[in-house]
Chains A and B, each alone.
Chain A
Amino acid sequence: MKLFARELRLLLRDRAAWALVLLFAGVLAYALWNGADLARRQRDTARAIEQSTAAFDKQVREVLGVQAIDPRQLARQPLTASFTPAPLPLLASGQADLAPMHESVSLFRLEQPSDARVEIENPSRLLAGRFDLAFVLVWLFPLFLLALAYDLIAGDRESGTLRMVLARGVAPWKWIAVRAIARGAPVLALALAATLLSGWSADAAVGARLAFACAVVLAYGLFWLAVAALVNGFAKSAASAASAAGAAWVGIVLVIPTWLNVLVESLHPMPSRAELVASARQAAGDAERRGSELLSSFYKDHPEWMPPGMQADFMQQLLAQQDEVGRAIDPVRERFAAELRDQQSMVETWRFLSPAIATHEALTDLAGTGYWRTEAFRAQVAAFKQRVEDFYAPRIHGNKPITKDDLAALPRFTFAEEPDAAWQGRVLASIAGKLGLVMLVLLIALRRISARVLAVSSA
């Protein structure tokens, strides 16, 4: 404890350290402020959609109160599936600037790819990425930690003071540990505080998510302190400790993730969107040409929908065609989801190659802007499309008007959040894996940091 207090005092006397800590605080504050913009935009969009959905609902209710509606007419109105804003958008913007916040679902365009429309954004901004909290925590936080803690003993070793200290009987690992924690403490504390602050304006109850986020950040910070210790076990001078720490950062934060990214996309290449579009149109053309023949075969599959006297109207025919197109291209579309799933599982498998990946994955998962929640939205929209079809198709084929009694059964979309246990499991695994890595690194470092090795090599 005395050692710890002494180290902290030393740190407080260091003007460069003060500057670093203050800079880090400033960077965190900017990231929180900057991330608020995206969160606000998401909330505004969600609110606008909610209002227009409510207005439409009210209108339908009013009309149905007076008269029945032809299902063809109502089905033509597109329904909006709205993605609930992420629980912790300030923590990590993740895919939020790319993934659509809502999708339009319309019976007669069910086979139209839903992700065709994109929010307006300068592509260079998507390329650069946002200055959000996750950026600061994953990319910059380790830099600040290393800047404060890279020279745990290397400098003393170089100047020879290490020999004098060791000669006084201080256990080197203890000295390093205390030093690392004391020097890392201010930056760690700031990172944790910012993580907590990201829940400030959250709508829902996010206590558990914040607690997990703190654990993720803490484990990540400990990993980098362990790296600092490891580097000091090997480096003979402060300069070589600094370059080794820098190299570790470049490797773990820059090179491995980008390389893994390229590898994942090369091993699990996405099928061609271009070919999907073209083949969908080919299928549609075929279906249209086969026209009435198609319809009769359709009614063979769905005798319950066959209108009396087999007089199919235009819309019924359209639905039958759409069904056929779906049959043709659904396998291709499924391949997109499957490849993306494979990519994600490959990322899951290899994320511990670089704790930066594991941390980024965990933070976006907690923020609700990562793969899992977005995937859940996609799946729920697909299910919703099915519900829309199941509701309208029999009514259109059977020429059954929609009445007041159908009000409750009208398809409406509400996004159901994943059960807490699902994300907790994933994040816990991530934290455990990272702590395991910390242990491993510390073990290697400890073997190097024995008094004997240090005393001899600093001669």
Chain B
Amino acid sequence: MIARIARKEFVDAWRDGRFRVGAVLMALLLVTASLLAWKQTERAATERAAAAALERTNWLEQGEKNSHSAGHYGVNVFKPVSPLGLFDRGIEPFVGTTLFLEAHRQNQASFVPAQDATSMRRFGELTASTGLQLLAPLLVILLAFGCIAGERERGTLRQVLSLGVSPRALVLGKTLGLGAALASLLVPIGVAGALLFTRLDTDHVDGLGGRAAGLALAYGLFLGTVLALSVTVSALASSARNALALLLTLWAGACIVAPRLVTDTVHDALPTPTLAEFELEMNQDLQSGLDGHDPRSKRLEEFAQKTLKEHGVANVMELPFNFQGHVMLESERMAGEVFDHHFGTLWDRIEEQDRAVTLAGVVSPLLALRSASMALAGTDFAHHRHFSTAAEQHRREFVRVLNEDLKRNAKPGDHGYVAGRALWESLPEFRLAAFPVERAVERAGLGLALLAGWFLAACAALFFAAGRLRVSVA
């Protein structure tokens, strides 16, 4: 019985001209958006690879110089492109792509793509994910708003129920049929999209299959929720027109208003410092230590005294190594603590904001979906932080090696010491280890859990509405 109802609903949906037009448009948008994004992703990947190669050459051919000067010369590292970003670009257009690694300083990634764009960017970007997040729910609403309210108005509902069909079977069958119609549109596109992924360079992505499955789950739960809610509203509404009005209002609230409203509210409650404040405090701590009353000069002086005592000499010139290099190592270590503290606090705050926005997914499932989708596509802040942290580790290691070289190989007090290509070559290129898929899933966990909660709640609402199905309009 349920299968029969579902089959009829499926056929009916595809015979509906409005749905067909919507489906064709939807498919066109998804396909063109994915193809354009694919081209962009490939281009960006090639460009960054080329730049990285050139930068390596620059590094190797910088000529002979003091190894600490090489630390100042520094090196640029480029953020690898996440191939799943062609599905969901996430925050990528709004974070820097290039990070300059140099002695003494931890920098922030610079060159935000959105800065090199017109204000059109404010309208958002058409990717497969935005299509599925914003437009697919509309298609679901279009498909489902009249599925019961319309039958009630036409009178077919009386007729069907007079045949002894149980209301729950009817509602369930309808929901399944509409879901199947939707799936018959989206699943082939999804499979085609998945094939597109396999053509990209996916070496530095961990668990591509798992991520894709997670994305399918997240979007399935989301659209399932929208479908169940739409059928529920259709079952409870007094007319198809009212059902449509209510559903469109809910859509506008959850998909258009909520993201901005929630984000702005959360950021008012959990503010981030301005760049000026951040740098001021960090510079203060670099000077006077994290505890605030231990000037750097004093600590370095103590360090010098300690070193002299350890080696039982009276003068730094008598030490068996270059003291400058030795101090440089220590001051990098000290600065590292300050950087860890300040950047850690800042990034924790940003993640806290993101978590709060995700939690507001209780109000709008879209927020839960966005967070889960970005996390699984590898384009959320956690992935960016992973890159920044790895780059900083690379910086510290490379500055340490250079300072170590100075300490070991430069004669005490020798300012003319230079190192050469052999040392430059001994420093490895920056390679970003893949962000482990388990952590990505963990990041997506809250969003997925909220989506699952929404889905269950929507199914419960559907069950409830089916139990109280009114037969006639009056």
> Does A touch B (CB under 8 Å) in the complex?
yes
User: Chain A interface (Cβ within 8 Å of chain B)?
Assistant: 27, 30, 34, 37, 41, 45, 48, 94-95, 98-99, 113, 115-131, 135, 139-140, 143, 147, 237-239, 242-243, 246, 250, 254-255, 257-266, 269-270, 272-275, 277-279, 281-282, 285, 288-289, 336, 339-340, 343-344, 347, 356-357, 360-361, 364, 369-371
In this assembly, does B256 line the interface, its C-beta being within 8 Å of a C-beta of chain A? yes
Give residues of chain B (267-292) contacting chain A, Cβ–Cβ below 8 Å.
267-268, 272-276, 278
Q: What residues of A have a CB within 8 angstroms of the CB of B55 in the complex? A: 277-278, 281
Q: What residues of A have a CB within 8 angstroms of the CB of B261 in the complex? A: 30, 131
User: Quick one: CB contact mask for B124-157 with A, threshold 8 Å, 1 for yes?
Assistant: 1110001000110010001000100000000000
In this assembly, does B116 line the interface, its C-beta being within 8 Å of a C-beta of chain A? yes
User: A360 CA to B123 CA in the complex, in Å?
Assistant: 9
Give the interface SS of chain A, mostly helix, strand, loop or mixed: helix
Of all chain A residues, the one with the shortest Cβ separation from B273 is: A120
13 more A-B residue pairs beyond the given contacts A123-B381, A273-B98, A343-B117, with a C-beta to C-beta distance below 8 A: A117-B108, A122-B350, A124-B91, A124-B353, A131-B260, A254-B134, A255-B126, A261-B126, A262-B125, A285-B63, A288-B63, A356-B123, A370-B119
Q: What residues of B have a CB within 8 angstroms of the CB of A243 in the complex? A: 18, 142, 244
Of all chain A residues, the one with the shortest Cβ separation from B357 is: A124
Of all chain B residues, the one with the shortest Cβ separation from A144 is: B252
Q: What residues of B have a CB within 8 angstroms of the CB of A255 in the complex? A: 29, 126, 135
- Min distance, Cβ A329 to any Cβ of chain B, angstroms: 13
Q: What residues of B have a CB within 8 angstroms of the CB of A356 in the complex? A: 123
User: Chain B interface (Cβ within 8 Å of chain A)?
Assistant: 18, 29, 32-33, 36-37, 39-40, 43-44, 47-48, 50-52, 54-55, 57-58, 61-63, 76, 78, 90-91, 93-98, 100, 108, 110-126, 130, 134-135, 138, 142, 146, 240-241, 244-245, 248, 252, 256-257, 259-261, 263-264, 267-268, 272-276, 278, 346, 350, 353-354, 357, 381, 384
Residue pair B244, A116 in contact (C-beta under 8 Å) = no
User: A34 CA to B268 CA in the complex, in Å?
Assistant: 9
User: A236 CA to B274 CA in the complex, in Å?
Assistant: 55
Residue pair A34, B119 in contact (C-beta under 8 Å) = no
Residue pair A285, B381 in contact (C-beta under 8 Å) = no
A140 and B381 contact, Cβ closer than 8 Å, known pairs A266-B36, A270-B116, A285-B62 = no
Of all chain A residues, the one with the shortest Cβ separation from B124 is: A258
Of all chain B residues, the one with the shortest Cβ separation from A119 is: B275
User: A147 CA to B39 CA in the complex, in Å?
Assistant: 40
Residue pair A122, B76 in contact (C-beta under 8 Å) = no
User: A303 CA to B343 CA in the complex, in Å?
Assistant: 49
Q: Which of B108, B260, B276, B381 contacts A118 (CB under 8 A)?
A: B108
Q: What residues of A have a CB within 8 angstroms of the CB of B29 in the complex? A: 255, 259
4 residue pairs, one from A and one from B, having the closest CB atoms: A274-B51, A257-B123, A272-B47, A123-B91
Residue pair B54, A126 in contact (C-beta under 8 Å) = no
Q: Which of B108, B114, B240 contacts A126 (CB under 8 A)?
A: B114
Q: What residues of B have a CB within 8 angstroms of the CB of A259 in the complex? A: 29, 32-33, 126
Scoring A117, A122, A237 by chain B CB atoms within 10 A of each residue's CB, the highest score goes to A122
Residue pair B54, A364 in contact (C-beta under 8 Å) = no
Residue pair B123, A261 in contact (C-beta under 8 Å) = yes
Of all chain A residues, the one with the shortest Cβ separation from B243 is: A239
Residue pair A269, B118 in contact (C-beta under 8 Å) = no
User: A434 CA to B450 CA in the complex, in Å?
Assistant: 43
Residue pair B124, A274 in contact (C-beta under 8 Å) = no
Q: What residues of A have a CB within 8 angstroms of the CB of B130 in the complex? A: 258
- Of the A-B pairs whose beta carbons lie under 8 Å apart in the complex, a sample of 16, sorted by A's number, is A98-B114, A122-B353, A124-B91, A127-B93, A127-B94, A139-B256, A246-B244, A270-B117, A272-B44, A272-B50, A274-B78, A275-B50, A277-B111, A279-B54, A340-B118, A371-B119
User: A118 CA to B244 CA in the complex, in Å?
Assistant: 44
